[in-house]
């Protein structure tokens, strides 16, 4: 789903060339039907199974964007000359990244390219977010994240996020405390890469995010289109990349490359 930050996050469901506004459909019954066809989002070939949220197996094995260093940026091997696609990495990994704190199910640390703010926070269902450092490359920001996640989570409890079991947090105080706890590791990284490579941000303001939700589920039941191709229910809201239906929740991002028919009443 494409997202845009506003007073309330707005969502569009992307089906081929179609962009379907979803916010106006909250409170109405919608149906998603998977036809059984899955196409790789990179090469377009048909595949029986989707890998890494939309790729066929050959693409998953060869593309730089599917390498394990995307999930674990501190293992980036660009400088070793073994990157799967250095040109792709020049445009995605060797560019400025931000280290941030977010509150989606409690405080977590995360990283994102500067072009993905605030999209990344919306996709995670964060209700608060704060940029805390600007870093030159993905490797460097990954090493920063490793230092901080010794003291704070780097994962979202998606069930708590979807049930809106989230208390407001003081992200400014959390940032200052983490900088103190990780002072030596940060200084070592600045010495290794240069102070200009890792710039701590002290003056950023907390961003508050709001989602289009009429009601949150009390219990989480997940739809799986691989097992049940047709998903239907009243759309109670949208948070992160999840549709909250009265019949259960569905993670739309999981189904990249799936051919889906959509209808609403």
Residue 27 and residue 136 in one domain? no
Residue 222 and residue 189 in one domain? no
Please tell me the distance from the alpha carbon of residue 88 to that of residue 64, in angstroms, as a whole number: 7
What is the structure's pLDDT at 216? 97
What is the structure's pLDDT at 78? 94
Last residue of a domain, one of 185, 208, 231: 208
Residue 166 and residue 254 in one domain? no
What is the structure's pLDDT at 49? 93
Last residue of a domain, one of 175, 208, 241: 208
**Arithmetic mean of pLDDT, 63-81:** 95
What is the structure's pLDDT at 87? 96
Please tell me the distance from the alpha carbon of residue 222 to that of residue 252, in angstroms, as a whole number: 11
What is the structure's pLDDT at 16? 85
Listed in sequence order, the residues at least 6 apart from 230 whose beta carbon sits closer than 8 Å to its beta carbon are: 31, 32, 33, 34
Query: Is residue 43 over pLDDT 90?
Result: yes
Residue 94 and residue 15 in one domain? no
Residue 90 and residue 47 in one domain? no
Residue in the block written with tokens 């490797």: 139
Q: What tens digit of pLDDT does each residue of 75-116 get?
A: 999 999 999 999 999 999 999 999 999 999 999 999 999 899
> Nearest 5°: CA angle at 243, between 29 and 104?
150
Q: What tens digit of pLDDT does each residue of 11-20 get?
A: 999 998 899 9
Residue 64 and residue 159 in one domain? yes
> Nearest 5°: CA angle at 159, between 155 and 165?
95
Residue 187 and residue 63 in one domain? yes
Q: In terms of Cα–Cα distance, which of 259, 238, 215 is closest to 39?
A: 259
Please tell me the distance from the alpha carbon of residue 75 to that of residue 131, in angstroms, as a whole number: 23
CA distances in angstroms from 107 to 166, 168, 183, 200, listed in the order given: 10, 9, 19, 18
Q: What tens digit of pLDDT does each residue of 124-136 get?
A: 999 999 999 999 9
Q: What tens digit of pLDDT does each residue of 156-213 get?
A: 999 999 999 999 999 999 999 999 999 999 999 999 999 999 999 999 999 999 999 9
pLDDT band at 265 (very low <50, low <70, confident <90, very high): confident
Please tell me the distance from the alpha carbon of residue 223 to that of residue 238, in angstroms, as a whole number: 15
Residue 231 and residue 192 in one domain? no
The pLDDT mean for the chain works out to 96
Residue 105 and residue 171 in one domain? yes
Residue 104 and residue 61 in one domain? yes
Last residue of a domain, one of 167, 193, 208: 208
What is the structure's pLDDT at 157? 95
Q: Which domain holds residue 105?
A: 57-208
Residue 65 and residue 182 in one domain? yes
User: What domain count does the chain have?
Assistant: 2
Residue 73 and residue 163 in one domain? yes
Q: In terms of Cα–Cα distance, which of 121, 125, 122 is closest to 110?
A: 121
Q: What tens digit of pLDDT does each residue of 204-252 get?
A: 999 999 999 999 999 999 999 999 999 999 999 999 999 999 999 999 9
Please tell me the distance from the alpha carbon of residue 182 to that of residue 102, in angstroms, as a whole number: 18
């Amino acid at each position: 789903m494409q997202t845009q930050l506003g007073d309330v996050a707005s969502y569009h469901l992307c089906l081929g060339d179609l962009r379907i506004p979803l916010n106006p459909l909250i409170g109405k019954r919608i149906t998603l039907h998977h036809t059984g066809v899955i196409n790789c989002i990179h090469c377009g070939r048909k595949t029986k199974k989707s890998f890494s949220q939309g790729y066929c197996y050959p693409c998953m094995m060869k593309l730089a964007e599917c390498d394990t260093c995307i999930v674990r940026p501190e293992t980036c091997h660009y400088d070793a000359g073994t990157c799967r696609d250095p040109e792709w990495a020049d445009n995605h990994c060797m560019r400025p990244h931000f280290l941030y704190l977010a509150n989606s199910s409690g405080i977590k640390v995360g990283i994102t390219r500067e072009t993905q703010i605030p999209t990344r926070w919306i996709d995670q269902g964060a209700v608060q977010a704060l940029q805390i450092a600007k870093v030159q490359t993905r490797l460097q920001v990954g090493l920063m994240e490793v230092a901080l996640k010794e003291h704070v989570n780097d994962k979202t409890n998606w069930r708590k996020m979807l049930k809106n079991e989230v208390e407001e947090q003081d992200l400014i105080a959390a940032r200052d405390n983490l900088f103190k706890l990780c002072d030596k590791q940060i200084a070592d990284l600045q010495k290794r890469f240069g102070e200009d490579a890792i710039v701590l941000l002290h003056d950023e303001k907390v961003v508050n995010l709001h989602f289009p939700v009429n009601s949150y589920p009390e219990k989480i039941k997940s739809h799986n289109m691989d097992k049940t191709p047709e998903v239907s229910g009243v759309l109670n809201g949208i948070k992160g990349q999840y549709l909250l239906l009265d019949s259960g929740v569905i993670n739309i991002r999981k189904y990249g490359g799936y051919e889906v028919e959509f209808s609403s009443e």
